[in-house]
Amino acid sequence: MTEIFGVPTQALFGQLLIGLINGSFYALLSLGLAVIFGLLNIINFTHGAQYMMGAFLAYILANKAGLGYWWSLALVPLLVGAFGIAIERSMLKPLYKLDHLYGLLLTFGLALVIQGLFRNEYGTSGLPYAMPAELAGGRNLGFMFLPNYRAWVIVASLAICLGTWFVIEKTKLGSYLRAATENPALVQAFGINVPRMITLTYGFGVALAALAGVMAAPIYQVSPQMGADLIIVVFAVVVIGGMGSIMGSILTGFGLGVIEGLTKVFYPEASNTVIFVIMAIVLMIKPAGLFGAQK
Amino acid sequence: MMPRSQRNALALMAAFFLAAPLVVYPVFLMKAMCFALFACAFNLLIGFGGLLSFGHAMFLGTAGYAAAYSAKSWGFAPELAILFGTACAALLGLVTGLIAIRRQGIYFAMTTLALAQMVYFYYLQAPFTGGEDGIQAVPRGMLFGFIDLKNAWAMYGTVFVIFMAGFLLVYRAIHSPFGQVLKAIRENEPRALSLGYDVTRYKLLAYLLSATLAGLAGATKALVFQLASLTDVHWTMSGEVVLMTLLGGLGTVFGPVVGAFIIITMENYLAQLGAWVTIAQGVIFVICVLTFRRGVIGELGNWLKKPL
């Protein structure tokens, strides 16, 4: 067996793949957080719970309605996104004029409620979700075995991330969005419905989290606490990247996933904490984050 | 000098905790006092420094582990174990404080949460914490060599004295010139900076003091329950102390005590209902933020038109 730095290549590439998969989810979730934060100035603590809802809704659709993975991929983001819009309209709206911290506290409370309700209904043990038949199996790349589903997750999340980047940075709609981030009052004066844009942005960010949840369902076990621990890591990712740039969120997400994967190979004891350590180092050297502007 | 309303409230609080064990289970009251001190420490940072820490469980848990381990494995006397636990929390406060205060607002909250999660994973793997079991059967020992803390009343008195001392220390800190500068920083940081105050140092000091007192609460709690476990380091605990303070009243003197008491009581009665505790906590969070931002004591003080 071939080795690199005393590590079998099989193990190395295997962990690298897991790192890329984790990185896909970090990127999708931190992207959603950054988009929401840009316009609403709220850190959406419910993000992890909404990701969990995405996975559970896919599970429920499959078991109660007989709708498979591809249906879920299309329907679940819409449903959870609509749920997000209802939250924004009813609860987040009154908070915009207050200190940003209240938004964090409110969404934290909502996350507790949602996680508690799902735990009551489904218990704490993980539930399996079947992989779509079209993506079962895998291919041998010579140096490693690549399961098709995992390749799909990486490609799909890259496409979604880059698509979002393109819309925000290169289209007219995106330019409104960026303008409203800078100066909402002025943009409103030009006749653009900013409150509606804010609502839809929140819905979109939430839909991204739900989409990530559906994609995660066949890989990780579907369980009520699957989002809670993940969201804390994503917060660290966001602090490292800084929320100023969309591309920054994407790059940091994938990059940290890979670093975490490599840590599992070379120093497994630190694999849980490596992202937090990197966060501490980045804060010491560049407090605004790698891609952030100090506000 | 304390305003009269606060002096009366202080007397009422002390009388309550002295008389209550005659009718209420003392262990429950000791738990309430430990969490009340924890919440007061947290409130010092958010209520007067404007810094929302989402990782305060790391101080509670660290001090708990240090006190429990030193009492059980090294045979430390209780007063030394509590001191040692508190010192460990203070040290952790210094290290994490230097990192966290580099960002403000939301980023500060996320940073403290992430740092606390790192500490949690460390304790999960470290051999001395006993993993999922925690450190059990911690000896309470003889306080100053002659007070046997196995006696429930001696333990109760000790916790009462520690709680009152911590509470008065927080009171003293927020009503000192230091506390006034802290409030100035909270209201307008650039102005405080331009007036020549070393903003970073003040914030770090507040953070350090808050961490130390949270540690004192954690170390005491470990001796009371003779247990140090992962529950006290988990992020849910960090969320709980935020909730206690928010419910009682951010930036009020007595709010955190009342908030802690309400939440501990609620947990006590809902304990059999499992996830409903979490749901109830979440609902209280939402209600507080949407309609009740002053909290119980804040509303009461507003209604009486007196500072509480």
Q: What is the pLDDT of residues B222-256, one digit of tens each?
A: 999 999 999 999 999 999 999 999 999 998 999 99
Mean pLDDT computed over every residue of chain A: 88
User: What is the C-alpha to C-alpha distance for residues B290 and A138, in angstroms, rounded to an integer?
Assistant: 50
User: What is the C-alpha to C-alpha distance for residues A226 and A210, in angstroms, rounded to an integer?
Assistant: 13
- In this prediction, residue B147 carries a pLDDT of 78
Cα-trace Rg, chain A: 19
> For chain A, what are the domain ranges?
3-122+146-285
Does the pLDDT at position A77 exceed 90? Answer: yes
Nearest to A108 among B121, B276, B285 (CB): B285
Question: What would the DSSP string read from start to end of A66-100?
Answer: ---HHHHHHHHHHHHHHHHHHHIIIIIGGGTTS-H
Give the 3-state secondary structure of residue A263. helix
- In this prediction, residue A146 carries a pLDDT of 84
- In this prediction, residue A24 carries a pLDDT of 93
User: What is the C-alpha to C-alpha distance for residues A213 and A125, in angstroms, rounded to an integer?
Assistant: 17
Mean pLDDT computed over every residue of chain B: 90
User: What is the C-alpha to C-alpha distance for residues B165 and A99, in angstroms, rounded to an integer?
Assistant: 32
Give the 3-state secondary structure of residue B228. strand
Which amino acid belongs to residue B125? Q
Please name which of B124, B38, B94, B129 lies closest in space to residue B207, comparing C-alpha atoms.
B94
Nearest to B279 among A113, A235, A238 (CB): A113
| Percentage of chain A lying above the pLDDT 70 cut | 97
Does the pLDDT at position B190 exceed 60? Answer: yes
Q: What is the pLDDT of residues B252-269, one digit of tens each?
A: 999 999 999 999 999 888
Which residue in A has a C-alpha nearest to residue B246's C-alpha? A105
* DSSP alpha helix (H) spans, chain B: 4-19, 26-49, 57-72, 78-100, 105-125, 152-174, 177-187, 189-194, 199-225, 235-248, 255-270, 276-291, 295-304
pTM to 2 decimal places: 0.90
Nearest to B282 among A37, A110, A277 (CB): A110
Residues of A in contact with B289 (CB under 8 A): 95, 102, 105-106, 109
Does the pLDDT at position A51 exceed 90? Answer: yes
CATH topology for A3-122+146-285 is: ABC transporter involved in vitamin B12 uptake, BtuC (1.10.3470)
Locate tokens 């331009």: which residue?
A: B194
Does the pLDDT at position A295 exceed 50? Answer: no
Mean pLDDT of B278-294: 90
Does the pLDDT at position A294 exceed 60? Answer: no
Does the pLDDT at position B1 exceed 80? Answer: no
Residues of B in contact with A116 (CB under 8 A): 275-279, 282
Candidates A30, A43, A105: best to mutate against B (most CBs of B within 10 A) is A105
Residues of A in contact with B278 (CB under 8 A): 112-113, 115-116, 119
Question: What would the DSSP string read from start to end of B89-142?
Answer: HHHHHHHHHHHHTTS-HHHHHHHHHHHHHHHHHHHHH-GGGTTTT-B-S----E
Of residues B102 and B84, more confidence is placed in B84
Q: Which residues pair with B135 in a beta bridge?
A: B228
Give the 3-state secondary structure of residue A19. helix
Which amino acid belongs to residue A194? V
- In this prediction, residue A270 carries a pLDDT of 85
Q: What is the pLDDT of residues A88-124, one digit of tens each?
A: 999 988 888 888 889 999 999 999 999 999 998 888 8
Positive/negative CA dihedral, B147, B151, B154, B160:
positive
Is A94 in Cβ contact with B290 (below 8 Å)? yes
| Percentage of chain A lying above the pLDDT 90 cut | 43
Which amino acid belongs to residue B109? A
| Model confidence band, residue A2 (pLDDT cutoffs 50, 70, 90) | low
Q: What is the pLDDT of residues A193-244, one digit of tens each?
A: 888 999 999 999 999 999 999 999 999 889 998 998 899 999 989 888 887 7
Of residues A7 and B90, more confidence is placed in B90
Of residues A49 and A178, more confidence is placed in A49
Q: What is the pLDDT of residues B121-161, one digit of tens each?
A: 999 988 888 888 888 888 888 788 787 878 888 899 999 99
Count of CB pairs separated by less than 8 Å, A with B:
122
Question: What would the DSSP string read from start to end of A115-146?
Answer: HHHHHHHH-SS-B--PPPGGG-SEEE-SSSEE
Mean pLDDT of A147-154: 90
Nearest to B125 among A116, A239, A269 (CB): A269
User: What is the C-alpha to C-alpha distance for residues B287 and A46, in angstroms, rounded to an integer?
Assistant: 16
Which residue in A has a C-alpha nearest to residue B95's C-alpha? A280
User: What is the C-alpha to C-alpha distance for residues B181 and B192, in angstroms, rounded to an integer?
Assistant: 8
